[in-house]
Amino acid sequence: MTTGQDKADLAELAGAVIERAIAADLMVTTAESCTGGMVAAALTDIAGASAVLDRGVVTYSNQAKTDILGVPEAVLTAHGAVSAETAAAMADGALRAAPHAGIAIAVTGIAGPGGGTTDKPVGLVWFGLAIRGGRTVTAHHIFTGDRATVRHRATTTALTMMKDGIG
């Protein structure tokens, strides 16, 4: 369950992303699955977001990941939706779809309460960060807690990665 402090932390992180992006004259984009638009929502909660947020997409199904972001079906078949390969492909696809953006964050995971396996437990979330003209990096975390907590922590992590990626 998220608290008032959690919301303040999101606002602080989102504000830092926006400030850094404005200073760098950089547009950002998001590609979200398990967070369902929470990263983009955190950014748009901050006044001035329109100066830097180009677009955000929610690609919850595998078909949407393929149709909208160009994630190859072979990647989804070989590695699954919750994988480094899919997170990277989502971030790269988000940059392709947003030619004015310089950085993209992607989030894909298993928020629960069901859907986990031994290899991919509930709480596993993969992140992809693509920087135009640079390389795409991935990271993962296994968060504990209920669905809301996993999604909140994933949103916090995505915003932190964006902030650090902008520098």
Class for domain 4-166, per CATH?
alpha beta
**What does the pLDDT look like over 7-17, one tens digit per residue?**
779 999 999 99
**What does the pLDDT look like over 117-142, one tens digit per residue?**
999 999 999 999 999 999 999 999 99
The H or E element that residue 7 is part of is helix 4-23
**What does the pLDDT look like over 37-89, one tens digit per residue?**
999 999 999 999 999 999 999 999 999 999 999 999 999 999 999 999 999 99
Q: Residue 3's pLDDT is what?
A: 67
Task: Name the strands in the sheet holding 136-142, side by side, starting at the edge strand that comes first in the sequence.
Answer: 53-58, 27-32, 101-109, 124-131, 136-142
Q: Residue 6's pLDDT is what?
A: 74
